[in-house]
């Protein structure tokens, strides 16, 4: 059995932005999630920030919906997403903490 994990920084502890929101935006851009599902996910994020939802329960629900997805393709997609979106936010977080001006992109 392989041990694969996913990490989403939804409260901006390590990354300058909510990686769950970034991932959701990426899914919408690729047409892999409907507007209604995206809206539902945004509602979960709001409830999480208001301490009204168990994020582990939501993650388990989402994982069951991913049944049948190719692990290799999903891992590659996530790798590209991290390189294209998440690492940029890490860079912006470092710039903000060092009082430098971040001139590339926003989260």
Instruction: State residue 8 phi and psi, 5-degree precision.
Output: -125, 125
Question: What is the per-residue pLDDT for 28?
Answer: 93
Question: What is the per-residue pLDDT for 98?
Answer: 53
Q: Is 20 helix (H, G, I), strand (E, B) or coil?
A: helix
Question: What is the per-residue pLDDT for 105?
Answer: 47
Query: Structure pTM?
Result: 0.65
The whole-angstrom separation of Cα 33 and Cα 28 is: 5
> Can you list the residues of the chain whose pLDDT is less than 50?
100-107
Kindly state the DSSP code that residue 13 receives in the 8-state scheme.
S
């Amino acid at each position: 059995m392989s041990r694969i994990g996913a990490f989403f920084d939804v409260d901006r502890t390590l990354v300058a932005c909510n990686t769950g929101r970034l991932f959701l935006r990426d899914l919408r851009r690729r047409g892999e999630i409907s507007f209604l599902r995206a809206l539902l996910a945004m509602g979960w994020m709001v409830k999480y920030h208001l301490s009204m939802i168990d994020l582990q329960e939501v993650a388990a629900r989402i994982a069951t919906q991913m049944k049948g997805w190719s692990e290799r393709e999903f891992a590659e997609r996530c790798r590209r997403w991290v390189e294209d979106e998440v690492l940029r936010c890490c860079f912006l977080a470092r710039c903000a903490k060092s009082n430098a001006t971040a001139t590339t992109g926003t989260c």
